[in-house]
Structure 1
Amino acid sequence: MADGNLLEVRNLTMHFTQRSGWFRRTRRVTRAVDGISFDVRTGETLGLVGESGCGKTSTGRSIIRTYTPTGGQLRYRAADGTEVDLATMPSSKLPEYRRQIRMIFQDPFSALNPRMTARDVIAEPLKVNKVAGGRELDDRVVELLRQVGLRPEYRDRFPHAFSGGERQRLVIARALSLNPRLVVADEAVSALDVSVRAQILELLVDLQRQQGLTYVFISHDLSVVEYLCDRVAVMYVGKVVELGSTEEIFARPRHPYTQALLAAVPQPDPTRRNILTQPPLEGEVADPADPPPGCHFHPRCPFAQEICRTDAPPLRTTSDGHQVACHFAEQLTLDGLTGATAGRDDEQQA
């Protein structure tokens, strides 16, 4: 593994097979993740973005091994410095690494057992992994509640007594209970109101700075991604079509699909609204069980030519270090968000 990388994803595939009939023959294969590669650097936040059905959630669940990948590698640098492949690791050895890689789910209510108090929710991973018990366990629960901005006296409440934002803070506390190194956040703020969403994003940033966390942040909301993420990987029908720094992606996209996603981002600041020179994106995401030949995006792409319909473009690095899967990336001039910068950088400078 390269120095500075915590996780290296190489040619990862996650295919789901549907069988039917008397002999249970394979009838349909859904290629949710279809040979993607990217790195996650220690201490950074990498965003995975795209429309519903693009494969970003399946990628996240493969990383934490809720799903067993059907191919590829997940090279992970463990806390002791050893390098392991999570993709092929037998289930009997996974618990050790599941303490280091945790997940924050989209819906905070369904992620919590309604019969368990806040104390039980946070304490369960600690007890299952035999990390703490007795008074030490109680002290750890109180500490975690305070870290996520909840009052310690709330520990005897059940999930229904918390607001949506408070429940998400509780989910975050549970995810952090085992001192993970990598956190996969799957649409962690999409179910929250705008004002509460901003508070949770601030919390995630603060926790990352305090504990040195590394995030893989899955979202369809590019305004959230712009604020939180250092780099962005854009996915479409199971493949990464563009990868670069947040500033590069937002200011100067190279793939027509990325440009279409940016065009849908609301811009309340008039100085950041663009007069789009490209038509709005039409059509639906291709079926991952029956994707079109060539570039999967070509039926919706206003720039598609004959080669796009026959040859799938590889993810390649351009002269300026940007990664893009488009035959005409260097020839296209696409609209970005003028003046786009990562909001976190602006705050840090202030």
Structure 2
Amino acid sequence: MNKRLFRAGGVAAMAALAWSASAWSQLPPDEIGTVTLDKPGPHRAYIIDTQFDNATTGKVVVVDPEEKKMLGMIPTGYLAPSVLSHDDSRLYSADTFWSRGVRGERTDVLTAWDTQTLESEWEVEIPKKRANILMERNMLTMSGDDRFVYIYNFTPSTSVTVVDTKNQSVASEIDIAGCVLNYPIGKRAFGSVCGDGTFQRVKLDDSGHEVSRVRTQFFDPNETAMNERAARNGDMYYFTTLDGVIQPIDVSGETPKTGKRWSLFTDAQREAGWGVGGWQLMTISPALNQLYVLVHKDHGDRNWEDPSDTIWAFDLDTHEKVGELKTENYVWSMNATSDDAPLLLGVNIDGGLDVFDLTKMEYMHTVDGISAIPALVLSSH
């Protein structure tokens, strides 16, 4: 290279650097602070991201689905389930941490997050036994008056830790041997599905301790493969078998009562291969009195959890199919908002959020790339 050109180029580069440094030095210093969000509306979405590629640090992504805008993130622990309070003021997460990241001393806490500042308000250390498995909706639930949080434990023996949100302390641990999950019932009870095919109801007192329990025969486990990921509508829970038969159960009384079963599919549809699929595969719009189910046409024994691009709507009174939603993406979990102008929010396998207008029964849009590996999506009760 010509030395004269090299020197000229070097002088020009130094001059550019000097100008750049001078320009940057004139910028005002950044101000670090926090932004307070508006009070949550009925359509705000909270996507629970499993972070499988870095599972020790999960997150909840907060999204405005109509404006297609991410509002913020809440950092959580390892595979942390989350639940919203009924007044939408708090989101609770059951977190697990290790002192050396992936090893060392284990600490489990229930954390209360403010849904406007997205900052933690308080935490309570809980027994080191909460279920460290892929999140399901009924692993972490709340009493009807937001007084207690129910945390599902699996060691592999099963129990429920009851946390008092008023006193910010662990109230009790309730053994549910042979049963799984915690389905909230009213102000002071929760249910569990048991291996013998019964549905167990545990009643608590105002201090969070057990006062009674009853069981109702729910299904025959030797004949029926029941999916535990139910959809709720008031005092009714709707379960489905793996082959698409709906089993309602009424939890309004002291003893749960099973309702009449009905099928999502006609004989011709079953013959054509239609079946249910997905992770959180069902949801309900109370305002429209409709059940929404992820379905696919290649149903088989090994793909009943597969995502789908097709959602069918059913009237809860007539049990008739009343509509269908389609998307270009494959939805794995979904949730319908509880307001009078409901949206259906579906997280897809590419990390996007598919948004549907349920009043018009039509696809609206997709918020692309909003999460990494979404497991569940929550919205206002």
| TM beyond 0.5 | no
More helix by share: 1
More strand by share: 2
Higher relative contact order (CA 8 A, sep 6+): 1
TM-score, with normalisation over the residues of structure 2? 0.28
